Amino acid sequence: MLIRCEISACVRSMWYGFLFVCTLAQAGEPAQALETVSLQLKWSHAFQFAGYYAALEQGYYRDAGLNVRLLEAGPGIDALESVLSGKAQYGVGTSSLLLARAAGQPVVVLAVVFQHSPLVLVARQDLATLGTQGIHDLVGKRVMIEPQSDELIAYLKQEGIGLDRLVQVPHSFEPQDLIAGQIDAMSAYVTNEPYYLEASGLSYQTYTPRSVGIDFYGDNLFTTEEELKHHPQRVRAFREASLRGWQYAMEHPEEIADLILAKYSKQHPRDFYLFEAERMVPLLRTDLIEVGYMNRGRWRHIAATYADLGLLPRNYVFDGFLYEPDSHPDLTRLYIALALLMLVSALALYIHRANRRLALALDAKSRSEERHRVIFQTTASAGVVWREGFIVTDWNRQAEALFGWRREEVLGRRFVEFLLPESERERLTPRFGHMVRENVLPQGVNDNLTRDGHVITCEWFNAWLPERPGEPREVVSLANDISERRRLEEEIRQLAFFDPLTRLPNRRLLFDRLGRVLATLRRDGGHGALLFLDLDNFKPLNDRYGHAVGDLLLVEVAQRLGECVRHMDTVARFGGDEFVVLLGNLDDDQALAQDHAKRIARKILDRVGEPYRLARADVETAIEHHCTASIGLALFDAAADEEDILRRADTAMYKAKGAGRNRIVVDSGSPGEALDRDAASHVDRRAHLNSGNGTK
């Protein structure tokens, strides 16, 4: 015992001495200048590259001895070409880097940032088939698919939809084209374009390749074999600093959003960058997976998908394609120093470790399992652990509370038989099996059953548990009930952009769509028209029967207006008994455009003038009422101003009302046909009125 203590003391003294010498040696070296390198981004500045901004701002690159320049991309700039040509040493690319490698390009993937690709297809939702629209409804439709969308092409192919069955349109990267109805679907990032689609109030459908088991990696940090060969330490330092930046960025999204606005781009509002950050969380999964983690099985899955497309040979071997940080570290000097130290301390350490190894291992395993058990049982998410065959092996308390089954009731059972409604079971069971076989466990949203038969919508996150020798691999799946969140999101959207009585777009959404129509006219030419409609003699109905009956009439008028216009047109309630109809995509010829708008206005006038039967719940006999309308029509082109368009239509409407009502007055916008503007003050006066159900 005395000998062991003396040896240990000697070892400690030598170790402290060694560290002191190393410290002095390092302090004696002159400070080195920072090495300048460039990183080519794959697109314009956005939260998509937040980790690299954070690494610069927090000094991680500087601490690694690097002066990093971030190169913004855009149309015509390819990150792969920039890196291969030497314009940049590092780049951000898609999973198509695998194709470049197969084509002989010496690219090396250093790290995966997006564990799941954000690339999806978004399509206008056909309101007539709400909830039933599927991917096959895109056949024959106008679709924009951006370059290098290999996973989308594979998805369409797996669904039996070849590109020849779509009407392909060159990608403009403008969500406005989808909002305005210029196209039916487009490839998009789930982190970006949906922000503008939701702000516009457009009903849309999202299709993701992950729904059929095609799960590509997203943004991949890469370099070349030459950079790795000649600067291995620089590659390691750049990678580690970048990943530190990503960890910081995802933990401080608001700070990074402010940084982007201050130093990189004001192209989008702050809310856009925060929306992007929120949508990136389930794609990076930094709470479950270390940033930069790459799985060879996932890459084999991607290679197999490319093989299905005929872009790669079967069983393609991609040796050297994936960077292995610890494969060739240059630690020669450290090894020499450590060899001398270890030669002296080997005997003492061996004896000490031999006595302690088993006890420490057992204790560490016990503490680790207990720690994970506590986390699993106390997490706010419903947790299910299962193995191949969908057999439940664990079930936490939150799962008991959410789904209603007790742990002992589900252990050993197949969760697909009691957690999934029949329709979801038929759809998801084969895909679950495919995911497990291909080592792919994506995040997903689907309906689930509770014990009492209620259907709830849950968002699921899945991960492999560490393997145990001789035991089947297990998956941990965490679920959050998002049913109420979805309901509230839809309710908030309705309150923000739609009139609560008629369910028509409100003023805010009307002005947004008017602006978009003008933008389309500036790009494509043509004319638009705005119809300002006011109900005649509405006040007597309110005075005699009350506002509840007046509301019934307004709802009926809203329905009739919707029947008179095209799908692309907008019917909005402006306030009280005033409605606005916005017509876009009219003819280039002014006379033809005006004639088209007048035909629609006459159709509206006839339909609104038909008798009404207004049934109240508290009265057995329906109230019969006759109602007409006064319509002002303003024709406009790309040079028009939003406020002036509205003022002209409003003035024309008052002209119609003053001429005897139940008629249409047209203001074409031509100087020789300009109307008397005396009634224009009505627009300013109306702006001060509240949006009641009206008193005219």
Question: CA 99 to CA 96: how far, in whole Å?
Answer: 5
- 58-78: pLDDT as tens digits: 999 999 999 999 999 877 788
The overall average pLDDT reported for the chain is: 82
Please compute the mean of the pLDDT values over residues 251-280 and round it to a whole number.
91
**Range scoring the smallest mean pLDDT among 114-123, 190-199, 328-337, 428-437:** 328-337
3-class secondary-structure state, position 631: strand
8-state DSSP, 76? T
Residue 29 has pLDDT above 60, yes or no: no
Kindly report the CA angle at 619 between 614 and 623, in degrees rounded to 5?
30
Residue 359 has pLDDT above 50, yes or no: no
Q: At what angle do helices 507-524 and 642-658 cross, to 10 degrees?
A: 110
Which residues does 374 contact at the CB level (< 8 Å), separation at least 6?
A: none
Which residues does 652 contact at the CB level (< 8 Å), separation at least 6?
A: 532, 632, 633, 634, 665, 666, 667, 675
Across the beta sheet with 119-124, the strand order is: 167-169, 142-144, 185-189, 119-124, 204-207
Model pLDDT, residue 691: 39
Question: CA 219 to CA 112: how far, in whole Å?
Answer: 6
CB 36: neighbour CB atoms within 10 A? Answer: 10
Question: CA 451 to CA 417: how far, in whole Å?
Answer: 12
**Range scoring the smallest mean pLDDT among 59-68, 83-92, 677-686:** 677-686
Could you tell me what percent of the chain has a pLDDT over 70?
Answer: 82
Which of these, 89, 43, 44, lies nearest to 68 by C-alpha position? Answer: 89
Tokens 């109306």 map to which residue? 686
Higher pLDDT among residues 618 and 53, named by residue = 53
Most confident of 211-225, 475-489, 525-539: 525-539
What does DSSP say about strands 185-189 and 629-636: parallel, antiparallel, or unpaired? unpaired
Model pLDDT, residue 351: 52
Q: Please, where are the H alpha helices in 379-421?
A: 397-403, 407-410, 415-418
Most confident of 86-100, 348-362, 425-439: 86-100
- 611-635: pLDDT as tens digits: 999 887 666 788 888 999 999 999 9
Question: CA 333 to CA 229: how far, in whole Å?
Answer: 19
Q: What are phi and psi of 458, to 5 degrees?
A: -125, 150
Higher pLDDT among residues 512 and 675, named by residue = 512
Model pLDDT, residue 85: 92
Quick check: 52 and 39 in contact, CB under 8 A? yes
Question: CA 40 to CA 52: how far, in whole Å?
Answer: 11
What is the band of 368 on the pLDDT scale with cuts at 50, 70, 90?
Answer: low
What is the band of 541 on the pLDDT scale with cuts at 50, 70, 90?
Answer: confident
Model pLDDT, residue 674: 43
Please compute the mean of the pLDDT values over residues 495-517 and round it to a whole number.
90
Could you tell me what percent of the chain has a pLDDT over 90?
Answer: 43
Model pLDDT, residue 462: 85
Taking the CA of residue 46 as centre, how many other CA atoms within 13 Å lie in the half-sphere pointing to its CB?
22
3-class secondary-structure state, position 641: coil
8-state DSSP, 674? P
Surface-to-core class of residue 318, CB atoms within 10 Å of its CB (0-12 exposed, 13-18 middle, 19+ buried): middle
Model pLDDT, residue 162: 87
Model pLDDT, residue 621: 81
Q: Can you give 578-600 as a three-state secondary structure string? A: EEEEEEEEECCCHHHHHHHHHHH
Instruction: Name the token pair of 379.
Output: 């997490």
User: 339 to each of 17, 18, 335, 452, how far by Cα in Å?
Assistant: 15, 12, 6, 67
List, as one string, the DSSP characters of 226-292: HHHHH-HHHHHHHHHHHHHHHHHHHH-HHHHHHHIIIII--SS-HHHHHHHHHHHHHHH-TTTS-TB
Tokens 């951006």 map to which residue? 146
Model pLDDT, residue 319: 84
Quick check: 143 and 185 in contact, CB under 8 A? yes
**Range scoring the smallest mean pLDDT among 83-87, 276-280, 322-326, 328-332:** 328-332
What is the band of 115 on the pLDDT scale with cuts at 50, 70, 90?
Answer: confident
Rg, C-alpha atoms of the chain: 33
Q: Can you give 200-225 as a three-state secondary structure string? A: HCCCEEEECHHHHCCCCCCCEEEEEH
CA 696 centroid distance within chain: 46
Which residues does 346 contact at the CB level (< 8 Å), separation at least 6?
A: none
Model pLDDT, residue 223: 95
Please compute the mean of the pLDDT values over residues 372-401 and round it to a whole number.
86
Model pLDDT, residue 675: 44
Quick check: 550 and 541 in contact, CB under 8 A? yes
Question: CA 638 to CA 628: how far, in whole Å?
Answer: 32
CB 482: neighbour CB atoms within 10 A? Answer: 15
Residue 361 has pLDDT above 60, yes or no: no
8-state DSSP, 88? -
Which of these, 105, 58, 57, lies nearest to 80 by C-alpha position? Answer: 105
CB 378: neighbour CB atoms within 10 A? Answer: 11
CA 617 centroid distance within chain: 44
Residue 682 has pLDDT above 70, yes or no: no
Question: CA 480 to CA 564: how far, in whole Å?
Answer: 44
- 321-354: pLDDT as tens digits: 999 876 444 445 445 555 665 665 555 555 555 4
